Amino acid sequence: MLVTQVTLRRWAQVPRRLALVTAPQADETLASWVDRMARANRCPPDEVADLMGLHLRGVYASSRPPVFGVQCDEAVRQAVYAATGVPGSAVNRMHLSVFEGGPLSVAALLSASKAHWPSAAREWAEVYGSRACPCCLLASGGVWRLWWKLSCAAVCPEHQVTLLDRCPTCGWVLRWGGARPRVVPARWNRLPTCCANSVHGRPCAQWLPAARVSRADERTVDAQRRWLDTAYRRAHPTLGGAKVSARQWFQAFRACATFLRLGMPTILGRLPDIPGWCARALLDERAERNVYRGQFGWGPASAPAAAAFLTVVTPLLAAADRRELTRGLAPLVRAAIEEGCLTTRPLMRLPMPGVFARAVAAQMPVGPSARSPQRGSTRDEP
């Protein structure tokens, strides 16, 4: 009798197979797939998520599950497979954990999301919202790509346009959910190509493919492609001629972005061939992030800011050898020193690969109280 009750309880927890199943697309987020499933089944997304065994019903906006869309466990994989027939490997690919060990650390991302605050303070990704390419949304019928949630998502390599940050109608971050961010809507079925942020209790009806976007710089498009190739492990990165891991390459990228912020505005007059739009984006980003309040390590505040960092930093990291890398980093490091911001304390908090730290150390003033930035580099790096 006991065995029968346990068996029945287990069967009751297994989701029933849904009648209408929409196959997930390549590089699609979990929330996007749930939205499209809800559209096909003509019911709110939170009901579809509940039927899929994701257990989101009744969750308050301020206490949303931090793992949704970030990391997948075996229970979720089994529940989704039972409800949809989609294998666990496909479910894994819809989570930000795809970028673990590269541009992101899942553990840091989860700890940041528990604080009910955007995760960009610790990890350069957006747990709550997303950026988007209106052209991609139109062509795909509303598939939201996973890499759009990364803070360095700046331009669409396919359509060569700058990604959209905020809804032009409601002004909220895309897919944020308005004043009360939720995992998925609880009362309405949002069109995948629409904003659908909650504005005064109603979904925003902005059709995103109609939003105006600007043409991206060719250099930025090329930098975005290289950045994504490294994030998806399609390329083997190098720093100063030395092979490094994806994690080490992204550490160097974030360190360069920090140097740019700390060296503003002096650095603008020292960077060769920096476009005017790039300088304006960096100045706007500096005003929003306000480095003097300790936010120099945050992710880019907007798609234009991300485009500026990609345009400036990516060519520096492509140096052929350590000497070229040192010459490229010289204006960044020296401008930060002259602005009085680059001291050993913030520098020591930056994880940097060994070859990169040595190139930075070559620009640092030598004194009895100065500590080498190499001590801040990780031990397993070249």
Mean pLDDT, residues 241-251: 92
Token pair for residue 306?
Answer: 């991300």
pLDDT at residue 229, rounded to an integer: 96
Q: State the residue for tokens 């006991």.
A: 2
H, E, C per residue of 92-115: HCCCHHHHECCCECHHHHHHHHCC
Mean pLDDT, residues 198-207: 84
Taking the C-alpha atoms of residue 355 and residue 61, their distance in angstroms, rounded to an integer, is: 44
Taking the C-alpha atoms of residue 317 and residue 298, their distance in angstroms, rounded to an integer, is: 20
pLDDT at residue 9, rounded to an integer: 40
The segment with the largest mean pLDDT, out of 37-41, 340-344, 360-364, is 37-41
Percent of the chain with pLDDT over 70: 80
> What is the Cα gyration radius of the chain?
22
**Average model confidence (pLDDT) across the chain:** 81
pLDDT at 63 over 60: no
Mean pLDDT, residues 357-371: 63
The segment with the largest mean pLDDT, out of 218-227, 240-249, 294-303, is 218-227
Cis peptide before 265 (omega within 30 of 0): yes
Mean pLDDT, residues 129-153: 95
pLDDT at residue 150, rounded to an integer: 95
Give the residue, 130 or 190, on which the prediction is more confident.
130
Taking the C-alpha atoms of residue 139 and residue 230, their distance in angstroms, rounded to an integer, is: 26
* CA-CA-CA-CA torsion sign (295, 299, 32, 67): negative
369 — phi, psi (to 5°)? -100, -5
Taking the C-alpha atoms of residue 229 and residue 237, their distance in angstroms, rounded to an integer, is: 9
Q: State the residue for tokens 């079925």.
A: 189
- Within 13 Å of residue 250, how many CA atoms lie on the same side as its CB? 24
pLDDT at 175 over 90: no
pLDDT at residue 76, rounded to an integer: 87
pLDDT at residue 263, rounded to an integer: 85
Percent of the chain with pLDDT over 90: 38
Mean pLDDT, residues 46-55: 81
Taking the C-alpha atoms of residue 38 and residue 36, their distance in angstroms, rounded to an integer, is: 5
Q: Which amino acid is it at 339?
A: E
pLDDT at residue 5, rounded to an integer: 42
Question: pLDDT band at residue 103, thresholds of 50, 70 and 90?
Answer: very high
Helix 354-361 with 322-338: angle, nearest 10 deg: 60
Taking the C-alpha atoms of residue 316 and residue 223, their distance in angstroms, rounded to an integer, is: 11
Residue 199's SS3 state is strand
pLDDT at 62 over 50: no
pLDDT at residue 376, rounded to an integer: 45
Residue 82: partners with Cβ closer than 8 Å, 6 or more residues away: 14, 15, 16, 17, 53
Q: Is the pTM of this model over 0.85?
A: yes
Helix 218-231 with 246-262: angle, nearest 10 deg: 140
Question: pLDDT band at residue 368, thresholds of 50, 70 and 90?
Answer: very low
Token pair for residue 305?
Answer: 């800011």
Q: Residue 273, exposed/middle/buried by CB under 10 A (0-12, 13-18, 19+)?
A: exposed
* H helix and E strand count, the chain: 14, 4
Taking the C-alpha atoms of residue 327 and residue 320, their distance in angstroms, rounded to an integer, is: 11
**Per-residue pLDDT reduced to its tens digit, 65-81:** 667 888 888 888 998 99
Least confident span in 4-13, 25-34, 54-63, 69-78: 4-13
DSSP string, 27-55: TB-HHHHHHHHHHHHTS-HHHHHHHTT--
19 — phi, psi (to 5°)? -70, -40
Token pair for residue 102?
Answer: 């590269």
DSSP string, 299-350: PPSSHHHHHHHHHHHHHHHT-SSHHHHHHHHHHHHHHHHHTT---HHHHHTS
**Per-residue pLDDT reduced to its tens digit, 256-308:** 998 888 888 888 888 878 888 999 999 998 888 776 566 777 889 899 999 99
Mean pLDDT, residues 149-173: 94
Mean pLDDT, residues 184-193: 78
Question: pLDDT band at residue 225, thresholds of 50, 70 and 90?
Answer: very high
pLDDT at 357 over 50: yes
